[in-house]
């Protein structure tokens, strides 16, 4: 038996423990039912559940959420289109999102799988400054060849802090500029 302050009260019957809890207007909660004898504690169970949910919510708030963005390519992509797609992927990686690269094979292009592999390696090479390819190898699922690129930790830029006027700290306030 454990008291409400955490001090051990010793071994006692269940009825005596329940009487102590009732006298203190608290609940008797079994902490370790598998113990010999089982361990019980006197506490306010509603407050305990509330504090526990508050801690869990706080932990979720401080976790970093990563999104999965997708960039689709085709086997016969032009150089300018390829650079545009890599620039989009680099932007996503800088923001801290993972990028799923998908090469779509149309018609008989699936027979030229080696060209798709070369294109995927070229794309990974272009994005290697900002991201790292996951340990899982690229895979062919039907007519789609996919790979996932994760952002490097040191290249993720912090989101600008916004004040009450919904402007970033770097932007000067218009009223301040007129008065200066």
What domains lie within the chain, and their CATH numbers? 14-60 (3.10.20.80), 68-155 (3.30.110.10)
The answer to whether the beta carbons of residues 2 and 17 sit under 8 Å apart is no
Low-confidence ranges of the chain (pLDDT < 70): 64-65, 154-180
| pLDDT at residue 156 in the model | 53
Q: Which residue has the tokens 């689709």?
A: 72
| pLDDT at residue 109 in the model | 87
CA-angle at 37, arms to 35 and 41, nearest 5°: 80
In angstroms, the CA 93 to CA 130 distance is 6
DSSP helix/strand/coil, 100:
strand
The answer to whether the beta carbons of residues 26 and 5 sit under 8 Å apart is no
pLDDT digits (tens, 9 = 90+) for 119-166: 999 999 998 888 888 877 777 888 898 999 988 876 555 444 444 444
Phi-psi category of residue 15: left, alpha or beta, with phi > 0 → left and psi -120 to 50 → alpha? alpha
Which of 106, 135, 133 has the alpha carbon at shortest distance from 120?
Answer: 133
The answer to whether the beta carbons of residues 130 and 152 sit under 8 Å apart is yes
DSSP helix/strand/coil, 13:
coil
| pLDDT at residue 162 in the model | 43
The answer to whether the beta carbons of residues 71 and 101 sit under 8 Å apart is yes
DSSP helix/strand/coil, 102:
strand
| pLDDT at residue 164 in the model | 45
| pLDDT at residue 86 in the model | 94
């Amino acid at each position: 038996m454990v008291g409400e302050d955490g001090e051990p009260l010793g071994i006692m019957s269940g009825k005596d423990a329940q009487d102590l809890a009732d006298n203190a207007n608290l609940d008797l909660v079994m902490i370790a039912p598998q113990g010999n004898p089982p361990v019980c504690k006197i506490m306010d169970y509603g407050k305990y559940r509330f504090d526990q949910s508050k801690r869990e919510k706080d932990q979720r708030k401080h976790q970093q959420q990563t999104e999965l963005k997708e960039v689709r390519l085709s086997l016969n992509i032009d150089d300018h289109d390829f650079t545009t797609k890599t620039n989009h992927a680099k932007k996503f990686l800088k923001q801290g999102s993972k990028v799923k690269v998908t090469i779509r094979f149309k018609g008989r292009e699936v027979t030229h799988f080696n060209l798709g592999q070369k294109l995927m390696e070229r794309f990974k090479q272009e994005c290697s400054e900002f991201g790292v390819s996951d340990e899982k190898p690229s895979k062919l699922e039907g007519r789609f060849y996919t790979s996932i690129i994760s952002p490097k930790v040191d290249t993720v830029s912090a989101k600008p802090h916004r004040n009450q006027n919904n402007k970033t700290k770097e932007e000067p306030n218009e009223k301040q500029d007129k008065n200066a």
